[in-house]
Amino acid sequence: MKEIADIRNEYQLAALDEMTVGDDPIAFFTQWFIEAQKAEVDEVNAMALATCSAENIPHTRIVLLKGLEEDEFVFYTNYNSSKGKDIEYNPNVSLLFFWKELERQVRIQGIAKKIRPEISEAYFHSRPPGSQIGAWASEQSTIIPDRTVLDDKYAELEQEYMGKRIPKPEHWGGYAVKPVSIEFWQGRASRLHDRILFTRGNNPSWQKARLAP
């Protein structure tokens, strides 16, 4: 077993330059995402979502990217969860993908907004029935006395909705994150990684810059 301090990898699979990324970071993200899928990256659509609470405490957790709609990054969750409350207070969020197999990282900063309920509805009904019941059974982020609360609630709802269409809970749905900055990171040898940052703030057009690693 290695000492934690001795665990390190050299990155040397690829390089990234200003020409290759082009001028449209969404198009480039899509290209990298396809490459990550082709490389069979595990949990390729898993991304760390960072939010900030009303007390100015940052919180990070993994959620799944479920679409790139009109250049916005969509994920689904419980609107009453801790992250939902954070976003209501402060819609500035950050997303992060780490595609280890390709030695790549993508950091996105943006503004999260609830998507239209019809879109959440359509996605909700595309999920397996078990997940649909799960959305009803779990008051996400609240303290529960023990596991049986969940299992009992699930069993009760399973009976209730047997053979019926399960409605989408009001409190469940998607957020779309409109990016204001996107950074592409490609690991390189000797820690001299490539970092290309796109920013646009409130402007429609993207500015591109290279950052020191």
CA 52 to chain centre: 15
By C-beta, is 130 or 213 nearer to ligand FMN?
A: 130
At 105, list the tokens: 């990282």
By C-beta, is 16 or 137 nearer to ligand FMN?
A: 137
In angstroms, what is the minimal distance from the CB of 44 to ligand FMN?
11
| Active-site entry in 191, 195, 200, 210 | 191
For residue 200, indicate whether it is catalytic. no
By C-beta, is 46 or 111 nearer to ligand FMN?
A: 46
47, 35, 207, 186: CA torsion to nearest 10: 80
Helix axes 129-137, 147-160, angle to 10 degrees: 120
Strand partners for 97: 106
Return the amino acid letter for 208. K
Residues that bind ligand FMN (CB under 6 A): 43, 46, 59, 61-64, 75-77, 81-83, 140-141
CB 124 within 8 A of CB 145: no
In angstroms, what is the minimal distance from the CB of 104 to ligand FMN?
18
In angstroms, what is the minimal distance from the CB of 169 to ligand FMN?
13
In angstroms, what is the minimal distance from the CB of 121 to ligand FMN?
17
Q: Could you say which DSSP state residue 91 is in?
A: -
What's the length of the chain? Answer: 213
Q: 184: closest CA among 211, 144, 147?
A: 211
At 18, list the tokens: 């200003």
Supply the residues annotated as catalytic: 191
